[in-house]
Amino acid sequence: MQSSHHDGSRPPSWSTTEPNTPVEKQQTVNSQGSTTEPNTPAEEQQNVDPELDHCGDFARLVPHGRLARLAFSEVVDGIKDQSLPAWNVNAKRFIHIGPRVAIDDCDLSYSSSDLEGVSIQQPEIWSGWFRLNMEIPPHIPHLGWIAGRGRTDRGVDLLLCRQQKHNVAGRHARFFHNHASGAFVVQSDGRKVVLDGREEISNARRALTSQTTGISFGDLTYTLVYTDLNEALYKRQLEDARRSSSKPGAGSYPPLFLTPTPSATDYDVASYTVKSLIAEGSTCRVYSAIDRRTGDAFAMKTIVQNPRNENKVRKEKEILDSLKPPHSRICQLVEVISAGSNARSRLVDVFFVFSPLARNHLGHLIADDLTNECRIHILYQCIDGLAYIHGKKLMHRDIKPGNIGVVSTNPPAIILLDFGIATYDDESRDHMAGTVQYLAPEILELKYNKSTKPYTNAADVWSLGVTAHQLISRRTHMWKEAEHELYVQACRHLTDLSRNAELYQFVELIKRLMDWNSNARITAEKALLHKAFSHIEPTAPDVVRDGRFKRSWEKG
């Protein structure tokens, strides 16, 4: 699959979507200091009152073109003379009525030849737009803002026209937020919807990830434009909407991480819109991304593949593909996209798409105000994931807080990340793999030529033990590397922590995970059965999602 890039070509009557690369993106600044796309149709800009600002709207659906503008004006006439049917009264809440404006000659229903020798007054219509505003919720919140001409038995939120014409259905489409990602989505409910004049959808949805998007419902054409509504306010409103729409016992969504409105730095790769940078390493970068087909959020790892790392990239893909069936504590590879091949340099941009999107890693949360119960659940999930990959005969070789993704802390949900140096070898003497601070003693002995004995997946257990020690002690630094004297001090600190009855079994487990003797070290599979987790059912990943343990890790 190759990455897709819009070529910018479309009929001139359409407002174009944003270019796909940060270099290509351009904006103009109007007299009020807000940004508008340079290709926004002039008539739309004339319809917008500069004194109005956004008025709490996060987006607007602006009529564009003769038919849509006339249809909008007819709806406003119905509001003004109160002739709208009672079942469509709701629609006026979502309409901003602007001043009356003259229609251009091209908007008239008769030809210019009909006007020869005739003096007439230029007709006028109502200007304005449909408001999309979290403080003006749709009539049926869980369905979103319904657009259409309405029906005699039930109305719509965005009343596009008053009569049965323009090929607009009673309920033609709807707009809503993807609650998991925050992306704003248009859904076609079996009717023809066209985006930007070229992409037709029916019984499908698309995330609206560009600053402006042309949308046609039947014969009526509009431009959806995002406003400059304060980002923090918009996120808070989305969080409130998600909480109010959650069904009892369904658990909660993780906090919104993505920027819900488009950014000037967003760009497209295949069907994804790539958004903010999450993490950066020496050989790769990880971004958040939105699948425009669904509005779902993903993590996208970008690597520049060259002849030197080609085998490494291929091996990582093979390992990730082998982790089937999917496990809830392991990052899942969704697809791999290659783009930008250069025959001369043999450089290829490779994009690994992962689910779920982890908004943080454990290293950022060790010193946070998490309850002990939450920390115990996090360790259980880490061990659960490690037991799964060890059951697949796979050594991770770089377990550490930075490679434990945090999807949510309420409820706790983590995933193991980065299988770039994992191996299916039962034993290894490669002491260069991993992060020194988390290397097991047996690997350090190889590194310093004190032993030639290979290490096993027990080294992963040690690394997780060091991570667990940091998690429970709330300290991110223990040592530069595991020296025995420092190890003894760490064990004494654990003994001090065990005086807290709530932590006693947790501490005892960490001691087993960090046994200096690799042969005596507990396995991940046995660690799952430790008394520290006696109150956690074996199906804990599902249990924590349904909210049964919610109060045990929440503050207050």
Domains and CATH numbers, the chain: 28-236 (2.60.200.20), 267-355 (3.30.200.20), 360-553 (1.10.510.10)
Percent of the chain having pLDDT more than 70?
79
**Prior bond of 325 cis (ω within 30°):** yes
Over pLDDT 90: what percentage of the chain? 59
Beta bridge partners of residue 146, listed in sequence order: 174
- Contact between 186 and 143 under an 8 Å Cβ cutoff? The reply is no
* pLDDT digits 0-9 by tens, 129-183: 999 999 999 999 999 999 999 876 567 999 999 888 899 999 999 999 998 899 9
Mean local confidence (pLDDT), 96-103:
92
Phi (first) and psi of residue 502, to 5 degrees? -65, -25
Q: Which residues contact 85 (CB under 8 A, 6 or more apart)?
A: 150, 152, 155
- Structure-token pair, residue 514: 């960090």
Q: Which range in 131-135, 276-280, 539-543 is most confidently predicted, on average pLDDT? A: 131-135
Rg (CA), the chain: 29
Structure tokens belonging to residue 315: 């091996």
Q: 169 by DSSP, 3-state: which?
A: coil
Contacts of 234 by beta carbon, 8 Å cutoff, 6+ apart:
58, 134, 260, 261
Do 428 and 397 contact (CB within 8 A), yes or no?
Answer: yes
Residues whose CB falls within 8 Å of the CB of residue 429, separated by 6 or more in sequence, listed in order = 446, 452, 454, 455
Residue at token pair 């909008």? 72
pLDDT for 556 beyond 50: no
Least confident window among 57-61, 138-142, 151-155, 228-232: 151-155
What pLDDT, on a 0 to 100 scale, did the predictor assign at position 241?
Answer: 86
Q: Which residues pair with 337 in a beta bridge?
A: 351
**Residue type (1 letter), 356:** P
The phi-psi region of residue 295 (left if phi > 0; otherwise alpha if psi is between -120 and 50; otherwise beta) is left
- Cβ atoms within 10 Å of 210's Cβ, excluding its own: 25
Measured CA angle at 433 (ends 431, 435), to 5 deg: 105
Q: Encoding tokens for residue 327?
A: 């496990």
What is the C-alpha to C-alpha distance for residues 115 and 273, in angstroms, rounded to an integer? 50
Whether pLDDT at 125 is above 70 = yes
pLDDT of residue 42 exceeding 50:
no
State residue 210's pLDDT score.
Answer: 95
Helix or strand holding residue 468 (H, E): helix 458-473
Q: What is the mean pLDDT of residues 69-86?
A: 87
- Tell me the three state secondary structure of residue 532: helix
Q: Which of 5-9, 188-192, 429-433 has the lowest mean pLDDT?
A: 5-9
| Alpha-carbon gap, residue 118 to 114, rounded angstroms | 8
Query: Going by DSSP bridges, is the β-strand pair 145-148/158-159 parallel, antiparallel, or unpaired?
Result: parallel
Dist. CA 99–CA 128, nearest whole Å: 8
Who wins on pLDDT, 307 or 54? 307
Beta carbons within 10 angstroms of residue 74's beta carbon = 15
What's residue 268's pLDDT? Answer: 94
Band (pLDDT 50/70/90 cuts) for residue 382 is very high
- Residue 247: the pLDDT is 57
Residue 204 clears pLDDT 50, i.e. is over it: yes
Structure confidence at residue 16 (pLDDT):
32
Beta-bridged to residue 330, according to DSSP, are 416
Of the ranges 45-54, 209-218, 353-362, 497-506, which one carries the lowest mean pLDDT score? 45-54
For residue 194, give every residue at least 6 positions away whose Cβ sits within 8 Å of its Cβ, in sequence order, or none.
200, 201, 215, 216
> At residue 552, does pLDDT exceed 50?
no
Q: Which of 125, 91, 127, 129 is nearest to 109 (CA)?
A: 125
- Those residues whose C-beta lies under 8 Å from the C-beta of residue 41, and which sit 6 or more positions away, are 13, 15, 64, 223
Q: Who contacts 542 (Cβ-Cβ below 8 Å, separation ≥6)? A: 328
DSSP string, 106-161: GGSSS-GGGGTT---PPPEEEEEEEEE-TTS--SSTTT-EEEES--SSS--SEE--
Phi-psi map region of 393: left, alpha, beta (phi>0 left; psi -120 to 50 alpha): left
- For residue 477, pLDDT beyond 70: yes
Residue 89: the pLDDT is 73
Output the pLDDT for position 1.
Answer: 44
Other C-beta atoms lying within 10 Å of the C-beta of residue 216 = 20
Check whether 429 has a pLDDT greater than 70: yes
Residue whose pair of structure tokens reads 């065990």 in the numeric block:
498
C-alpha distance from residue 105 to each of 28, 41, 72, 203 (Å)? 29, 17, 18, 37
